[in-house]
Structure 1
Amino acid sequence: MKRIYEMVLERSLLFIILIITISLFGIYTFLTVEQREIPETEVNIINITTAWPGADKQDVESSITEVIESRIFSVAGVEDVSSVSQDDISVLNLQLSNSADAESALNEVNNLMGSLAGSFPENAAEPEVESISNAFPLLSYQFHSGDMANLYDIRSDIEKLKREVAQIDGIDGVTVKGYTDKEFEIELDREAMTAAKVNPNQILSEINASLNPVALGQEESDGNIIRLSFEDGTPLEVLGQVRIGTESTPLTEIANIEETMGNPEDIVEYEGDRAVSFTVFLSKGQDVPSVSKDVEAVVDERISELPDTVDVTTLSSERENVEDIFVGLYLSLGIALVAVILSTSLGLSLIGSITVMATVLLSVIIGIIPVPWFGVDLNQISIIGLIIALGILVDDSIVVNDNIERRFTLGDDRLNGVYNGIKEVAPSVISSTLAIVFTFMPLLLLSGANGDFIKALPSILITTMIVSTVLALTFVPAVRYLLNRKKVPTHPGLLGRLFAKGGDLYADKFLPAIIKRPLITFLAVLVIGILSIGLVRFTPFEFFPEADRSEVTVDLIFDEEQTIDQTHDDANEVVDYMTSEMAHIEAVSLFTGTGLPNLFGASLDQSGANTAQVALEIDKEQISASETINQYEDQLREAFPEATIFMETTVQGPPAGAPVTVEIYEEDLSLLSDQSTKLKTTLEEQGALVTTNLGESVPTLNYSIDYKALEEDGISVSQVKNELNMLSQGIPIQDIIVEGEKRRTTLKYSNASELEDVDIIKMTGEQPETFPLTDFVEVEETEDYKYIHHQDGDRAAELKVYVDDEAAVKEEIASFSENLPDSSELIVGGETSDQTDFFVEIGILFAVILVLVYLVIAIEFNSIVMPLIIVFSIFLAISGGIIGLFVTQTPISFLGVMGMVSLSGIVVRNSVVLLDFIEARRKSGTFAIEEAIYDSGRARFKPIALTTLTSIIALTPVALSGDVLFVPLAVTVIAGIAFSTVLSLIATPSLYYLYYKVRYRKG
């Protein structure tokens, strides 16, 4: 081994050049890897949408939804299936398992839908299957004007811009909201139809046949293939020529073809002006700044060509958010790097501190190279990972460098000083690095969105730690061999003498006192640690904090039966109230209908004509987003009791759900709705705010068909249903294309027609028979729900409960559950339950981490008991982390917990190196056990103090930054390292001394 090292050291300059060359790849990776605000979270969802115009929700359920559900679980990877059946449409969401191949599952679902198409009703559309991507909004613009006509004038420009932007590399799609499409209605005159002796089925058949494209194919003439084509008129010209019935009655004589404005899906306003929202979505794995600049260049050019009657405002820019965040993070990273340089100079020689600085910097740069292979980009979590890495990477370099200098001061020559310096610490450095790697590796197994969110942290730390250890054992000795000074300072570093005095004081004063009463000393440390754990009860908790952003969203849910126009008027009243009461509002955007296009993490579970979302831009310097919500949410609810109102802001983490959710399973629809309503009312009486996916019951005209009468008169059910559709929303026919735009077209009776006026025409011979529609249909006014939900194939209702006193609500739910019939089942979940699941999972992973760390140390020391002494420092570190959070009143959070887990690998190093020195001296036979402990304490005091100080200084900028996401992590690690270092210097020698006395029956 010495010969190998000698060969490497003799080529030190070449080796250093090689390392620097490799680092260039790291710099390239850092400059080219994708940047974003938060890590991407994997979305494994497949959506199946099947339209069946004119169908009742129960028919949709039985004829489409249940048909698909009966086969969909055969698709590999499908874990959960939820569905909603409503009038005209069936929607299923398939949740795939984490291990599923999304592309393969999508292909399998498409094949299955193709095979099932023949099982669906004749006039049902083909199922549309799509994979729900995790694309998020990159840019959002508001095109606004005081006159909506001005926005319609630029519609073709908006559509052209949409196509241009969608073709840019890295763009997943573009959403435009605010326009209402024109439609054609073919209104039939009942009297004219009777006179012409035609029925709706004949009219529908003739219209579809006339609008169908003509394919004439080709023919052969004189050995040549000639293509045949057909020149058709415009759809409107074709409709004017449609003839129906035996008398070839023109369609225009029995129907009025009218162009109308359809029902809008969205009404958008910006600062009181009508607006059109233009939102661009980023594809997975793309770089935010570069793609954003490409989009902005195209958009800015097109905006410059718009008329002065239209203004454009940027509502949201992810690039600006990323740049703002990265400026702060890079500043913290730079400060941490400077802090590491300064702190190492306190206890190392100039050459030593330069060597450590270079090693740390190279470790970070080279450690970035494999990071993209982990599926990690540059985001808040990965940059924080680099800052944490700076604090712990110095350990290896300081330990190796300090020991090499120690060997030089003992009189070793250049080769032996470097070789012996490495030989003495290499086993402990490698084992402690393995302990850190094994600490962070299980975190890569953390499941779900939480796992995706935190994956960057362990990835960065694992790669940089491995590189750091390799460089500490190769690059550091190469540099020290190359730049060796003939005379090494006795007390290197700016505070070298102070560290030396500290080591002497520790070895000559404290250690003798400690091992004089080792059991009492250990018990005192144990009691302090246990009492510290108890401070958890007095420390605030916040799983994921709210971001320090200037956007607040307001969800508004009104009565189910409201039209979108009425909802928009009501929403404007809320907006007027907010602008009058909240002086810190700077801008307001109102989206009535389907709501915000996924901006600011806001979404509506069930959007429609009765819902709206408001995006408020506030001056957060006056009142923060969270304070705005706390101050005004209840006030809004009191002012507008007819609406369900939620105020939210961006959360720095995966999307959060309701605190408590309740799922009720029951096949009887009426019983299910009764149970849902009863529980909702009960919880609301307890002060909770409750929403249900059944929505509110709405006034309903229930048409009951007399099937016996139909059979007696030979009338088909489809005829009755078609007539009812013609009286209501109409029967959709082929879209008509006008000026390149598709126009939805429906066939219906004129508004003058009533149920009593309609006769069913039965063609029998020359004279058709007529039967009043009322002979087969009875109408009953009732209340009914608009949706039928399934969960994994079973009918279900879900309630979302928002309340402060969750324990009382859960007791009420448990009491309610006891009175349910045997046919019903109730399951309680929610964000609180998800957090409990997380803590259970992290507890299991932490147990695995402890076992792995224990095994590494056990192999290093070839002992079963010795690792327990070292693992005790982990308990002290966690105790210290809790003390830090309690003293600063920093909330225990997701990243705070990650900080505690991180400490498991970080803090064992000091104890490993200290015990390794003690064991080496004990085994040498030249030291009594007490002398071995004292001498090891003297030798290890400076590197332990120096690495602890460096780690703390590196993380201090993050702790003081005020970033609510990362402060808990920084405080936890700083306090944990400090507390563990101080108490480990007391507990580790005392425990070792007790172990020695028992193991070797001494004393």
Structure 2
Amino acid sequence: MEKLYEILLTRSLLFIILIFTLSVLGVYTFLTIEQREIPETEVNLVNVTTAWPGADKADVETNVTNLIESEIFGVEGLEDVSSVSQDDVSVITLQLADGSNPDDVLNDVNNVVAGLGGDLPENAAEPEVESLSNNFPLLSYQIHSDDRQNLDGARNGLEKLEQEVSQMDGVDSVTLKGYEDYKYEIQLDWDAMAENQLNPNEIMNEIELSLNPVILGQDTEGDETIRLSFKDREPAEVLGQVRVGDEDIPLDEVAEVAEVQDVPRDIVEFEGAPAVSFTVFLAPGEDVPSVSEEVESVVDDGFGELPGDIAVDNISSERENVEDIFVGLYTSLAIALLAVIVGTSLGLSWFGSVTVMVTVFLSVLIGLAPIPWMGVDLNQISVIGLIIALGILVDDSIVVNDNIERRFAVGDRRMDAVYNGVKEVAPSVIASTLAIVFTFSPLLLLSGANGDFIKALPSILISTMIVSTVLALTFVPAVRYLIVKKKVPKHPGLIGRAFTWCSNLYADRILPKIIKRPLLAFLAVLIVAVLSVGLIRFTPFEFFPEADRSEVTLDLIFDEGQTIEKTHEDAQELLSYLTEEMDHVESASLFTGEGLPNLFGASLEQSGPNTAQIALEIDKEKMSASETIDEYQSRVREEFPEATIFMETIIQGPPASAPVTVELFEEDLDTLNNEVDALTELLESKGAIVTSNIGSQVQTMNYSIDYAALEEEDVSVSQVKNELNMISEGIPIQEIIMDGDSRETNLKYSDEYTIYNVDIVKPGEGAPETYPLSDFVNIEETKDTPSIQHSNGDRTAELQVYADDEEMVNQTIADFEKGLGGTTELTVGGESSDQTDFFVEIGILFSVILVLVYLVIAIEFNSIVMPLITVFSIFLAFSGGIIGLFVTQTPISFLGIMGMVSLSGIVVRNAVVLIDFIEARRRAGEFDIHQAIFESGRVRFKPIALTTFTSIIALVPVALSGDVLFEPLAVTVIAGLAFSTILSLIATPALYYLYYRLRYRK
């Protein structure tokens, strides 16, 4: 090793140039890495959607959902399979297991679905398999006008702009919401058909034949090939020429072709005026600022061509959010860098301080280079990781540099001073770095959205810590060898004398008292630490805090079966109330139907004609988003009891589920619906708000065929079903292309015809026989839910429960479960359960962390007992973190817990450095045990105090920034470091001395 160092040191200049060259990679990475507000979380979901027009939900479940599910269960790599069967459609959602290859699973699902084509009902469409993405909104605009016709006139231009933007690099998709869709209906006159002895099937066949394209191909004349083409008229004109029946009766004599408005999926308003929303979604793995700038340029040009009576407002810009956040974070990073520079200069010579800071800066840059290959982008979490890294990266460089200076001070030659200075501390530096790496590595295994959210923090810290250690052991000695400072200051640093005085005080006054009564000193520290842990009961808790943003959203859920027009009218009334009561509302958007296009972290799990969402832009200087919710949510609920209302704001973390969820499993649908109703009523009677994924039961007209009557009159089932279709939604036929748009086309009876004035026509040898359709159909009024849900093949219903008293909710559910029948099963989950699962998982990971840290230190000291001395400092750090959170009344949160875990790797370093020096002196025989302990305190006090101080001041800007997401992490680390450092300076020597006396019986 000494020979290797001689080679390195004699080529110091070349090595330093190499290190600076490598740092260019980090600069390039920093300038080119993708930027976003929060980490990108992977959505491992696949949807299999199968349309079956006209089919009842029960038929959809039996003939489509069950069939596809039974085959999909054989696909490997799936963790969960859920489905919803509704009238006309089946949707099966597949959740991929962690570690599975999404492409392989998607390919297997496609193969399974492709093999089912012949087994599905004849009228069912082919299943569509789609891999779901995050659909992260990049930009969203409200395009509005006082006159709806102005918006309709701009539709073609906006749809062309939608297509243009969706094809841009970095764009996943574009959503244009708020326009009404139209379809064609061929409305048959049943009486005219009967008079001309026509039936719907022959009319439908003639229409489809008339609309089919003419395929002419090509012809040859001699040696020349001639292309043949056919130019047809517009479909509407073609329909006017259709002749039906043996008598070639014009279609318009038995039917009317009408363009009708389809049931709207969305109704959008902005500031009370009709509007359409234009939202651009970012593709996965793309950079927010650069993609946004390109999109904004194209969109601005497109909007510039709109008529002057149409206004455009940008209601969401992720680029602006990212820039605002990064300005604050970069400011904190710059302040932290400056603070570390000042901190190191307090106890190091100016040359040593510059060497340390250059080493830290290079460590950060080179450590950034592999980050993109670790699946990490530049976001809030990764930047805060850099700030934390700045505070702990100085440790290695300070320890190595300080020991080199110490060797110079005792008179070593240049080569010996550098080599011996590194050699003495290298084992402890490497061991403490491995402890930190092993501390953060298990966090990479954290599952789900929480794991994706925090992944950047351990990635940054692991990468930069490894680089920092390598540079501390190579770059620092190379610089100290190349530039020799012959005269080492006796008291280096701006307050070097103070450090020297404190070191002597600690070694000569404090340590002797500790060693005199080691057990008492340790017990005093232990009692203080244990009592501190009890403060956790008096510290607030908030898993993920609300962001300090100006957006507040309201989810509105009205009674099932309500039309979208009625829902919009009710939502308008509620919005008017809000704008009158709240003087700090700056703008308001209303989305009725499917709701907001995934903006502001708000989305409706179950959307439809009875749902709406309101997005409020508030002046947060007058009243914050959380204060607005606290002030107005209960008032709005009291004023509008007919709606289920939730007021929310953006949460700085992954999407959360309801506080409590209840899943009921029961094969009998009537029993399942009854149990859902009973539990819902019970919970609501206790003040809880309850929603369900199957919806509430709605008024239903249940049509059934009288098969005995069919058999008596010898009428076919298909005739009855066909007539029922014709008097309701109709039968879809070939789509019609109008002005470049594809329009659905249905064949149905005119609205004047019902089950009571349509006859079944039975052809015979003479005049056809007719029977009233109502003779073969029974009608029963009932109530039923709009969908059937499955979870892994079992019928289920899930309730989402919201209440202030979760303990009451859980007790109510437990009491209800005791009265369930033998065939019904119940499971409880939700956000509270998810948080419990997280703490269980983090507890397991932390146990692994403790074992890894213990093993590293055990190998370092070749002892199975001594590592326990250093691990005790982790407990002290936890206690200190809790004290910090309690004193500042900062909530214990997800990142607060991450701060606790981070401390477990950081704080052991001080104990390792201290004990390593004692062991080295004891083994060398230079001092007795007392002198070795005292001398270790004298030599190591300054590096320990200096590294702790620089780590703390690096995080002070974050702790004081007011950022509710990162404040708990900063407070935890600052308080834990301070508390652990102070008390471990007492506990570590005391424990070591007790260990020594027991080990050697002295």
- Displacement, 1:209? 2.4
Measure how far apart 1:767 and its partner are.
Answer: 4.2
Deviation at 1:484, TM superposition (A): 1.3
Of residues 861-870 and 106-115 in structure 1, the stretch that sits farther from structure 2 once superposed is 106-115
1:460 corresponds to: 460
Task: Look up the equivalent residue of 2:947 and give its one-letter code.
Answer: T
Partner of 1:35: 35
| 1:302-321 correspondence to structure 2 within 5 Å | 302-321=302-321
Q: Are residues 697 and 330 of structure 1, via their aligned partners in 2, closer, same or farther at CA, if it must alter by over 3 Å?
A: same
Cα gap change, 1:303/1:965 in structure 2, threshold over 3 Å: closer, same or farther?
same
Find the counterpart in structure 1 of residue 960 from structure 2: 960
Distance (Å, rounded) in 2 between the aligned partners of 1:716 and 1:956 = 82
The worse-fitting range, judged by mean Cα deviation, of 65-74 and 981-990 is: 65-74
Residue identity opposite 1:964 in structure 2: V
Partner residue in 2 for 1:666: 666
Residues of 2 paired with 1:766 and 1:324: CA distance? 84
> What is the identity, as a one-letter code, of the residue corresponding to 2:123?
N
Alpha-carbon offset, residue 163 of structure 1: 1.2
Counterpart residue type for residue 1000 of structure 1: Y
Partner of 1:49: 49
1:830 and 2:830 aligned:
yes
Question: 1:606 Cα shift?
Answer: 1.1
Match of 1:560 in 2: 560
Range that drifts further, 450-459 or 701-710: 701-710
The alignment's C-alpha RMSD in Å is 1.1
Distance 1:762 1:894 in 2: 72
CA distance in 1, matches of 2:512, 2:765: 118
Number of the residue aligned with 1:476:
476
Amino acid of the structure 2 residue aligned with 1:677: D
User: What is the CA–CA distance in structure 1 between the aligned matches of 2:928 and 2:361, rounded to whole Å?
Assistant: 41
Matches within 5 A, 1:639-658: 639-658=639-658
Q: Does 1:238 align with 2:238?
A: yes
**Structure 1 position 107, deviation (Å):** 1.8
Q: 1:537 — aligned with what? A: 537
Q: CA deviation at 1:298?
A: 0.3
Shift of residue 424 of structure 1? 0.3
1:551 alignment partner in structure 2: 551
Work out whether 1:862 is the aligned partner of 2:862: yes
Name the amino acid aligned to 2:321.
Answer: N
Query: Aligned-pair distance for 1:221?
Result: 5.1
Provide Cα deviations, 1:542-567, integer angstroms capped at 9, x if missing partner.
Answer: 00000110000001111112111111
Q: Does 1:780 align with 2:780?
A: yes
**731-740 or 850-859, which deviates more:** 731-740
Could you tell me which residue of structure 2 aligns to residue 153 of structure 1? 153
Distance 1:717 1:63 in 2: 18
Percent identity for Structure 1 against Structure 2: 69
Q: Distance in 1 between matches of 2:192 and 2:801?
A: 56
Residue 219 of structure 1 deviates from its aligned partner by 4.9
Match of 1:607 in 2: 607
- 2:96 aligns with 96
1:64 matched residue in structure 2: 64
Q: Which residue of 1 aligns with 2:327?
A: 327
Matching residue's letter, 2:237? E
Write the distance in 2 (CA, Å) between the matches of 1:791 and 1:49: 16
- The aligned counterpart of 2:899 is 899
Gaps of 5+ in 1: none
Cα deviation per residue 1:277-331 (whole Å; 9 max; x = unaligned)? 0000000000000000000000111122211110000010000000000000000
> Which range moved further: 6-15 or 952-961?
6-15
Q: Which amino acid aligns with 2:537?
A: R
SS at match of 2:131: strand
Q: Deviations over 1:31-76 (max 9, x none)?
A: 0000000001110101111111111111111111111111111122
Q: Distance in 1 between matches of 2:164 and 2:541?
A: 47
Q: Partners in 1 of 2:228 and 2:763 — Cα distance?
A: 38
Are residues 1:410 and 2:410 paired?
yes
**CA-CA distance at 1:272 after TM superposition:** 0.6
Q: Return closer, same or farther for 1:893/1:853 CA change in 2, 3 Å cut-off.
A: same
In the TM superposition, what is the alpha-carbon distance from 1:771 to its structure 2 partner? 2.5
Farther-moved stretch of structure 1 (699-708 vs 242-251):
242-251
Higher alpha-carbon deviation: 82-91 or 986-995: 82-91
Amino acid at match of 1:916: D
Cα deviation for residue 460 of structure 1 reads: 0.0
What is the Cα deviation at residue 734 of structure 1?
1.6
Counterpart in 2 of 1:106? Answer: 106
Q: Where do residues 188-337 of structure 1 align in structure 2 (5 Å cutoff)?
A: 188-219=188-219, 222=222, 225-337=225-337
Aligned mates of 1:361, 1:234 — CA distance in 2: 70
Question: What is residue 400 of structure 1 aligned with on the other side?
Answer: 400
Counterpart CA distance in 2 for 1:909 and 1:618 is 48
Could you report, residue by residue, the CA deviation over 1:682-705 in whole angstroms, capped at 9, with x for unpaired residues? Answer: 001111010011212211111111
Q: Residue type of the partner of 1:295?
A: V
Q: Deviations over 1:532-587 (max 9, x none)?
A: 11111110000000011000000111111211111111000000000011111000
Of 258-267 and 834-843, more deviation after overlay is shown by 258-267
- With the length of structure 2 as denominator, give the TM-score of the two structures: 0.99
**Larger mean Cα displacement after TM superposition, 836-845 or 484-493:** 484-493
For each residue in 1:706-763, what CA deviation from the matched residue of structure 2 results, as whole angstroms up to 9, or x when unmatched?
1233344443333222211221222222211111111121111111112111112234
Structural mapping, 1:928-967, within 5 Å: 928-967=928-967
Counterpart contact for 1:351–1:483, Cα < 8 Å: no
Letter in 2 for 1:29: T
- Paired residue for 1:117? 117
**Structure 1 contact 36–379 (Cα < 8 Å) conserved:** yes
In the alignment, the residues of structure 1 paired with residue 769 and residue 958 of structure 2 have an alpha-carbon distance, to the nearest angstrom, of 85
Instruction: State whether residues 589 and 616 of structure 1, in contact with CA within 8 Å, keep that contact through their aligned partners in structure 2.
Output: yes
User: Could you tell me the TM-score, scaled by structure 1's length?
Assistant: 0.99
Q: In 2, Cα distance between the equivalents of 1:771 and 1:33? A: 74
Q: Give the secondary structure class of the aligned counterpart of 2:926.
A: coil
2:115 aligned counterpart, secondary structure = helix
Tell me, in whole angstroms, the C-alpha distance in 1 between the residues paired with 2:260 and 2:766.
38
Shift, 1:218, TM fit = 4.1
Q: 2-side partners of 1:879 and 1:842: how far apart?
A: 18
CA offset at residue 772 of structure 1? 1.8
Q: How does 1:668-817 map to 2 (within 5 A)?
A: 668-765=668-765, 767-817=767-817
The 3-state SS of whatever aligns with 1:620 is coil
SS of corresponding position for 2:195: helix
- CA shift, 1:6, in A, is 1.4
Q: How many residues align?
A: 1002
Unaligned runs of at least 5 residues, structure 2? none
Counterpart residue type for residue 626 of structure 2: S
Bigger shift: residues 267-276 or 116-125: 116-125
1:381-405 Cα shifts (integer Å, max 9, x gaps): 0000000000000000000000000
Letter in 2 for 1:283: A
2:284 & 2:507 partners in 1: Cα distance? 57
In 2, Cα distance between equivalents of 1:776 and 1:52: 24
SS in 2 for 1:782: strand
How far off is 1:214 after superposition?
2.9
| Structure 2 CA distance for partners of 1:950 and 1:588, relative to 1, 3 Å | same
- Which AA in structure 1 matches 2:80? D
Number of the residue aligned with 1:384: 384
In the alignment, the residues of structure 1 paired with residue 337 and residue 555 of structure 2 have an alpha-carbon distance, to the nearest angstrom, of: 44
Which amino acid counterpart does residue 964 of structure 2 have in structure 1?
Answer: V
Given that residues 591 and 613 in structure 1 are in contact (C-alpha distance below 8 angstroms), is that contact kept between their aligned partners in structure 2?
yes
8 Å CA contact 1:680–1:690 kept in 2: the answer is: yes
Instruction: Tell whether the 8 Å contact from 1:659 to 1:831 is kept in structure 2 after alignment.
Output: yes
Report the alpha carbon displacement of residue 770 of structure 1 after superposing the two structures with TM: 2.5
- The answer for the alignment partner of 2:7 in structure 1 is 7
Alignment check: 8 A CA contact 1:663 1:797 kept: yes
The equivalent residue for 1:510 is 510
